């Protein structure tokens, strides 16, 4: 029985280590300045904002030639310029509306490091299975930890009882 638990513990450790390593390395990546897009926070220069939020939404809808069901509109600094980011109107994509000129562009695709961060850290690759996958890996990690505790305690108590 103990050898089965030992082998199970080793295999669970290996299975759980891969996603844990991806999650930890992506978190480390986010801690590096400017490695992930949006990792740097800039103060918004309010004096440069000439387009109101309602105008930005109108311009985004005009760009798409239809009324967009925008779920979020965020004012942020991007490349030293104030821009609105409209999210939800084009599916997973978003639009950038320049807060000074009103120019609308599609948000450029993220770079390699940003894509890795999002996929590995938030399990976006799993799609609708994201929550189930996280719960499954958490359960496997718990079983691995419990089997490790059992093995450790049985080793120490075994040594203790063999001495007496």
Helix, strand or coil, per DSSP, at residue 36: coil
pLDDT in tens, the chain (164 residues): 888 988 999 999 999 998 888 888 888 877 776 777 766 678 888 899 999 999 999 999 899 888 888 888 999 998 889 999 998 744 456 899 999 999 999 988 888 888 888 788 878 888 888 889 889 999 999 999 999 999 999 888 877 666 65
Prediction pTM value: 0.57
- Alpha-carbon distance 134 to 120, whole Å? 11
First to last CA, the chain: 24
24, 61, 97 from 89: Cα distances, Å: 32, 8, 13
Helix, strand or coil, per DSSP, at residue 65: coil
The answer for 40, left when phi > 0, alpha when psi is -120 to 50, beta otherwise, is beta
**Cβ partners under 8 Å of residue 145, min gap 6:** none
| Contact present, 33 and 40 (Cβ < 8 Å) | yes
Give Rg (Cα) of the chain: 25
Fold of 41-109: Nuclear Transport Factor 2; Chain: A, (3.10.450)
How many residues does the structure list for the chain?
164
| Contact present, 41 and 132 (Cβ < 8 Å) | no
């Amino acid at each position: 029985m103990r050898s089965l638990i030992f082998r199970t513990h080793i295999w669970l450790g290996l299975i759980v280590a891969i996603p844990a390593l991806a999650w930890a390395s992506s978190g480390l990546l986010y801690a590096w300045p400017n490695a992930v897009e949006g990792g740097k926070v800039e103060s918004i220069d309010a004096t440069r904002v000439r387009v109101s939020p309602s105008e930005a939404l109108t311009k985004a809808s005009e760009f798409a030639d239809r009324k967009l069901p925008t779920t979020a509109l965020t004012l942020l600094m991007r490349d030293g310029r104030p821009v609105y980011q409209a999210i939800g109107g084009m599916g997973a994509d978003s639009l950038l509306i320049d807060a000074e000129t009103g120019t609308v562009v599609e948000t450029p695709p993220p770079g390699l490091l940003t894509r890795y961060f999002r996929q590995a850290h938030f399990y976006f690759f799993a799609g609708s299975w994201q929550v189930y996958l996280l719960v499954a890996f958490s359960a496997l990690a718990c079983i691995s930890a419990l089997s490790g505790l059992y093995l450790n305690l049985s080793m120490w108590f075994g040594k203790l009882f063999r001495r007496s």
